[in-house]
Amino acid sequence: MDTFALIAATMEGDAGLSLLAVTLGMFQNGAIRHMLGKRIEIARSGTLSDPGASRRWADAFRRGAACRYDLLGGIDHFALAPLPLEEARTRIGLPPAQR
């Protein structure tokens, strides 16, 4: 859920909210168990009750909101791939996760 929260927070408009709603449906309340007719094997409910999950989820939102790019549609991942992680994070304005 953390990854989806981070990505959703970088998206503008309703797309991020839609991604967040689907993610919650798959991993928090268990409302979505199939997509395009196929069972989602990793779907389960109560994910945010796992130890530390709500803190990581909130941190992912914080990080995504600080990012200067839409991580799905507004960035050239191949251009960043050869860079050291810290340099790539700095270029896109993505702070490291809190530990």
pLDDT tens-place values along the chain, 99 residues long: 888 899 999 998 888 888 888 888 888 877 788 878 888 877 777 888 889 999 999 999 999 999 999 998 889 999 999 999 999 999 999 999 987
pLDDT at 36: 84
pLDDT at 62: 95
pLDDT at 43: 73
Residue type, 40: I
Say which DSSP state 47 is in.
G
Residue 88 φ/ψ region, left for φ over 0, alpha for ψ in the -120 to 50 degree band, beta for the rest:
alpha
Report the predicted TM-score, pTM, of the whole model to 2 decimal places.
0.80
pLDDT at 89: 95
